[in-house]
Structure 1
Amino acid sequence: MKNSRLVFIPAPGMGHIVSTVEFSKLLITHDHRFSVTVFVIKLPNATNVDAYIHSLTSSPNLPKRLQLIHLPTDESQSAQTLPHVIQNSIPHVKQAASDLVQESHSNPDSPRLAAFIVDIFCTAMIDVADGLGVPSVIFYTSGAAFLGLMLHLHRLREQGTLDTASPDFKDSGTELNVPSFSNPVPANVLPPFLLEKEREGFLDKYVKGLRKAKGIILNTFEELESQAVHSLSEGDTRIYAVGPILSAKDDETGQQGSDIIRWLDDQPESSVLFLCFGSMGYFGEDQVTEIARALENSGVRFLWSLRKPPPEGSRSTTDYSDPAEVLPEGFLDRTASIGKVIGWAPQAQVLAHKAVGGFVSHCGWNSILESVYFGVPIATWPLYAEQQPNAFELVRELKIGVEISLDYWMDIWNGSHSGVISGEKIEKGIKEVMERESETRKKVKLMSELSRKTLTKGGSSYSHLGRFIDDVMNNSM
């Protein structure tokens, strides 16, 4: 049988691309019959993605059977929304995929194009795959519980039994019985983009796209989200829970990363609280002041990744040239013996360090998987996207996180937010997440062990991956 090529089409966001590349590596390591080609769609001004792709393609460790193809980008259309960028990329995807098919036909040693693996935001590409006669599978980079929540809301809207766009809905006290959650989900933890009337079409478009796919690959594992994975598996679509797919630890962290690790080396075991809010997370000066006050009053050792709001037209935060400009006067001097304020952080390496004992996080899915894998409990502070229900899942469903907030939100484009969280509330969450013998910490340590076993032979994710490979190789999708 001829070897198989999979075409991956990730959404043009850092978390999506990193997860796609790491899953590609896992596949070709697991089975030598696979080659992977990633079609890279780029958002204009996405400098962090550019840097990551450059480091990847220039690395001598890039597997030979992993190929990245950069699709043309119109840099002049800097204000384009994601749907427009994806739509404009369709002709380029069609041409690039047709070239791969032609190569397979003309060269007997070239692998056959076996499937498209597309991000949920790229379901428009399924029609391209259909035109080439190959199946499509969704690679979903968030959690199974949230996917189930989206599907459930879509179903209720189709039935006309739920009006989430009502101005009073979010604060109504309504609780939804969602199959992918074992506890009722309160309306106040539903992300704004799921509730806004003008965004309903946006959501429904992608959910309808899911229905056209032959299967869904989930970056999760059964032991973590058993309720959600089992509820999704009851439908007609094949479900493959193959996680945790984590970004590889990179020893080449640069001088700044080395300084951070050296500082951690000097701290006692499990004594440091790590605060990091992702590549797009930032706060105004009022909120920064409250965080600083909480840290100082708590007395805990801390490593704080403090980021500056993005420049106009960009979604990527930057480092402060001098953090003192936004921090309370004298804060850095008063906490110099116990804390370190930094900009960018090598997150996976920090969480892997034995000195780190707690993590204040925005609850992005990749961050959650990393914290679970390294056994570090999270204090939840969601900001945008699906992070509010992620925080609810951590605290109320899985009980492997503690609450600073479950329903905080911000608009990463204009900086508007749901309010300022007080230093007292932050301090309470800090102290709780750093408790040495808490039940939360014990549960996280247990889940950490399971996350490491699940991708080994006999583990649930290992089995799901094997089923996916068999389905592709046997054309049984």
Structure 2
Amino acid sequence: MATSQDQLSSVIVLMVPFLAQSHLNQLLQLSHVVSSYNIPVHYVSSALHNSQVKSRAPNPLHHLAKIHFHDFPTPHFVSPQPTKTASNFPVHLMPALEASVHLRQPFSDLLTRLSTTARRVVVIHDSMMSYVVQDTASLAHNSETYVFHCISAISRVSFLRDAVGGGLEIGHELINQAKIPSWEGFLEPRFEAFADKQVPFMKANKSGHLYNACRLIESEFLDFIFEKELESDHNMKLWAIGPLDSLTIFKKNSLNSSDANSEKVYYLEWLEKQKPNSVLYISFGTTTFLEDGQIEEIAIGLEKSEVKFIWVLRDADRGDIFGDEQKVRGPQLPKWFEERVEGKGMVVREWVPQLEILGHPSTGGFMSHCGWNSCMESMSLGVPLIAWPMHSDQPMNAALVTEFVKVGLAVGELGNRDELVNSSTIEKVVKKLMSSDEGDEIRKRAKELGDELRKATAEGGVSRMEMDSLISHITR
């Protein structure tokens, strides 16, 4: 029996994330925000990756209840062990990422069904899922499709510059190779082939583009991108709605340890005993593979620096984080290390709530791979970075942090990636950030930026107004 017009929802939103942790997380954050406007949100992914993102979400029971998760099957894929590659790109994840194309039919079936229950169906998809959503316009006449970009605006500009093979005039400044790294050498051919498969569907029948970026830190880059998009389609809608982590669920010092399993929060209890801004947090994300030799150099550098630290030392995610294949020998520290730094530092070998660590008053710095999630979280919470980019968009994000926004220090040059970063280099940059006048100045700038970014996402702030504009547009 057909649904009558008065039974239709005004609008429903389908979120279609790419099958990598940072991408899954950003669209989950956006799902929280959209659902807070009392709009039904459907989060579409594989059963495996839905389980992954939910297991790593802060306070999941409270915040996930309003989101409708759709768990779709993908064919079995191999889940090889992470290994070192020339580009540092996590090529071991490619079987899992390539499996995403098999979500095309389940997504289409869901879209067809849901399109009969709403006046408008809004599909917001990761740019790397353009192939999966390609049938949207032909299947649902009441649909609109928006591309969500999980990368920084500076990374997008770098991509556009590489595509034309030269400098770009942005505002009054020529952005050149010296200031913004190129993508060349930071991806793998196999991933580039996968990305090329998305291109024909990336702009077809698109109503707009969303960026997890903020005008406070990337205004010139965003203006340039928007100008280019409008040149090709003057009706294109564009929004910069970041930082999403500030728009959603975390407030500084909001941890209620009674809600957490006590054996999972020992590192937070340790943080409570430390002086403000005295602890360096170290984490290289979910896709970074570090060889044992590099781990040893980090360990020696940390010990020599005499700076207090929490080091999250986990191997890179495999394609299936729950599979038995995960249970293998992880990254190895020198046998002497933990005994010699006892009381001074802590090594954590499990998944941690990064926002809670970054938001703790004792945390005074963050040594990071500069994934966009980590950069935005660190900047939002006013924590300066030690930038150590590994692959993909991370070098561009590092440049933004160190060269443009100036709330971080670089570990070293991006070249010579086959060489280990030695312990003396690590010791020097850690001391500079954590125990020098220059580090104090950087920390002051980072705090001021964090305050401004949180204002941007509060009522009347520039990012909140962009989000309100997006919601007003899709519910018009």
TM-score (norm 2): 0.82
* Shift in Å, 1:226: 1.2
* Shift in Å, 1:148: 2.2
Q: For residues 187-336 of structure 1, what are the structure 2 equivalents within 5 Å?
A: 189-192=181-184, 201-212=193-204, 213-234=206-227, 235-236=229-230, 237-246=236-245, 248-249=249-250, 252-308=259-315, 326-336=332-342
Structure 1 unmatched ranges of 5 or more: 105-110, 157-161, 163-174, 410-416
Of 459, 466, 469, 2:468 maps to: 466
Which residue does the alignment assign to 1:450?
Answer: 452
Counterpart Cα distance in 1 of 2:59 and 2:374 = 26
Q: Deviations over 1:167-214 (max 9, x none)?
A: xxxxxxxx8447498642349933446676776554444455443322
Which residue does the alignment assign to 2:86?
Answer: none
1:121 and 2:128 equivalent?
Answer: yes
Counterpart Cα distance in 2 of 1:201 and 1:367 = 27
8 Å CA contact 1:136, 1:215 repeated in 2: yes
Structure 2 unmatched ranges of 5 or more: 1-5, 81-93, 231-235
The worse-fitting range, judged by mean Cα deviation, of 69-78 and 299-308 is 69-78
1:145 and 2:146 equivalent?
Answer: no
Which residue does the alignment assign to 1:50?
Answer: 51
Which residue does the alignment assign to 2:233?
Answer: none
1:6 and 2:13 equivalent?
Answer: yes
1:87 and 2:93 equivalent?
Answer: no
Counterpart Cα distance in 2 of 1:318 and 1:358 = 30
Counterpart Cα distance in 2 of 1:458 and 1:448 = 17
Which residue does the alignment assign to 1:430?
Answer: 430
TM-score (norm 1): 0.81
Counterpart Cα distance in 2 of 1:436 and 1:143 = 30
Which residue does the alignment assign to 1:71?
Answer: 72
Higher RCO (CA < 8 A, seq sep 6+): 2
Counterpart Cα distance in 2 of 1:200 and 1:322 = 29
Which residue does the alignment assign to 1:40?
Answer: 45
8 Å CA contact 2:380, 2:454 repeated in 1: yes
The one-letter amino acid paired with 1:242 is I
Counterpart Cα distance in 1 of 2:75 and 2:57 = 23
1:341 and 2:375 equivalent?
Answer: no
Counterpart Cα distance in 2 of 1:57 and 1:390 = 24
The one-letter amino acid paired with 2:154 is A
The one-letter amino acid paired with 2:41 is V
The worse-fitting range, judged by mean Cα deviation, of 234-243 and 175-184 is 175-184
Q: How many residues align structurally?
A: 434
1:136 and 2:145 equivalent?
Answer: yes
> What secondary structure is seen at the aligned counterpart in 2 of 1:223?
helix
> What secondary structure is seen at the aligned counterpart in 2 of 1:372?
helix
Counterpart Cα distance in 2 of 1:42 and 1:153 = 36
1:360 and 2:347 equivalent?
Answer: no
* Shift in Å, 1:10: 0.5
8 Å CA contact 1:39, 1:69 repeated in 2: yes
Which residue does the alignment assign to 2:87?
Answer: none
| Percent of aligned pairs with the same amino acid | 23
8 Å CA contact 1:194, 1:203 repeated in 2: no
Change (3 A) 1:336 1:199: closer
Of 80, 101, 109, 2:115 maps to: 101
> What secondary structure is seen at the aligned counterpart in 2 of 1:384?
coil
8 Å CA contact 1:297, 1:427 repeated in 2: yes
Which residue does the alignment assign to 2:89?
Answer: none
Q: Deviations over 1:322-378 (max 9, x none)?
A: 98xx32342222211311111123211111111111110000111011111111100
The one-letter amino acid paired with 1:429 is V
> What secondary structure is seen at the aligned counterpart in 1 of 2:276?
coil
> What secondary structure is seen at the aligned counterpart in 2 of 1:216?
strand
Counterpart Cα distance in 2 of 1:259 and 1:188 = 40
Change (3 A) 1:371 1:256: farther
> What secondary structure is seen at the aligned counterpart in 1 of 2:364?
strand
